Amino acid sequence: MSTDRFRHGAGDLYRALPNIWSAPMDRHMRRKYRDRAPTRLDVMSSIAGPNPDVLQVLLLTLSEIHPRDEIVFWLLEQNLGPGKIAALERFCAGLGNITLRPLRIPDAEAFDRLKQLGGKPDSARFLWFVAHQHLPDDIKRVIYLDALDLLVTDDLVPLLNHPFLGRYLVACRESLKVPPLLIGPARRAHALGLPAIIVRHIAQGLLNSGSIVLNLDKLRRDDIGLDHYLAVAKWARKTLDLDFGDQGLFSLTHGSHYVQAHDRYNHRFYNERPGHVMQRPAVIHYAGQVIKPARWRLSPELEQRVLEHLQHIGKPEIALNDWARLPPTHIPYLRKWWDICARTPCHARIAPQATQRMTRALARAGVDVD
């Protein structure tokens, strides 16, 4: 059975879910909030590991883009010590318009199980699955932003207030070159004959979770709990041996249960081409085929050496290792992240390490770095 026949022939269980064309809606929302009054934004992230101070970069951009707004930043975590939380609280207090609200999420063992089943290096990426169970009940919607690889570059209030149309999330699509797949839960779809290759595509995520809005009220009403995701994760690993992260597991569990936002709210610039550059991104996401800026830094001198080397060899990019590539179009975005980072306390710690890592990789690639 073809995929199209399956999707349209399986009854209302797999009917195409309501969506909207993101560009007209985005223009409407931007006009609506062009001269808006100051407001409150509830923003959320999750983090694990030894380096939460890198979150300062995201927080600084969020604060400066919304100077008149009151921002409550909910930080979901399971293993941050009090000293690291206190340091982030002091940084937020210095910004003047962000209040940090750390939330310790229990049941670390269950989240570690999701990490193991999905084959991913950390469990913090899954914490937003239970945000509706831990945020105050009077908060109806919240923006979730990846902690370590985003910059906020324009007003997020239109995104926060984007219509849900009865869906769990507002999110940008994952596959920028492929039309959105509109489908129901993958487990039932596979039982009805959906080919494994399509399920594997779903496991990569139908949406990108770097920048999303959660419909907390609907998640509460539908009583969506961690057990839903654990059951699907066990099925995905046992039945098809799938790897997945948070966006993949959400997609496997709920299908296309999201409303598509404009890609400017989750700009992945690796997709840009000459003459097709995002003019006004609201969120820049260093995702996909992009090196993580906190780990890789080009000094102005190294930038020049890279450009000279590319011109000399006549190739479109430099291979830093087996998977990391550096095309010249990425350099301005890396520079932007580090220009902001230079204004935060974490810069003194991470910049020397990231510069050394880049220098060594460029030397191995044949770039004259002396």
| Residue 217, φ and ψ in degrees, nearest 5 | -60, -45
3-state SS class at 97: coil
Which tokens sit at 25?
Answer: 């809606």
| pLDDT in single tens digits along all 370 residues of the chain | 344 443 433 333 333 334 444 666 666 666 766 789 999 999 999 998 889 999 999 999 999 999 999 999 999 999 999 999 999 999 999 999 999 999 999 999 999 999 999 999 899 999 999 999 999 999 999 999 999 999 999 999 999 999 999 999 999 999 988 888 999 999 999 999 999 999 999 999 999 999 999 999 999 999 999 999 999 999 999 999 999 999 999 999 999 999 999 999 999 999 887 778 898 999 999 998 899 999 999 999 999 999 999 999 999 999 999 989 999 999 999 999 999 999 999 999 999 999 999 999 999 999 999 8
Q: How far apart are CA 144 and CA 44, in angstroms?
A: 5
d(CA 358, CA 352): 10
pLDDT attached to residue 178:
84
Q: What are the beta bridge partners of residue 318?
A: 326
3 state SS of 257: coil
DSSP 181: P
Structure tokens at 292: 């993580």
Amino acid 10: pLDDT? 35
| Angle subtended by helix axes 196-203 and 246-254, to nearest 10 | 130
Q: Identify the pLDDT of residue 23.
A: 64
d(CA 337, CA 330): 11
What amino acid is encoded at 311 in this protein? Q
What letters, b where the CB count within 10 A reaches 16 and e where it falls short, cover 285-302? bbbeebbebbbbbbbeeb
Whether residue 280 contacts residue 154, with contact meaning beta carbons closer than 8 Å, is answered with yes
Q: What are phi and psi of 296, to 5 degrees?
A: -135, 120
Strand 70-77 with 40-46, pairing? parallel
pLDDT score, position 24: 67
Q: Which two tokens stand for residue 43?
A: 């923003």
Distance of alpha carbon 300 from alpha carbon 302, whole angstroms: 5
The angle subtended at Cα 259 by Cα 253 and Cα 250, nearest 5°, is 20
Of residues 134, 89, 88, the one with CA closest to residue 111: 134
Distances from the Cα of 271 to the Cα of 181, 275, 286, 307, 326, angstroms: 19, 12, 12, 20, 14
For the whole prediction, is pTM greater than 0.85?
yes
Beta strands in the chain (DSSP E): 40-46, 70-77, 98-104, 141-145, 150-152, 169-173, 207-215, 258-260, 283-285, 318-319, 325-326
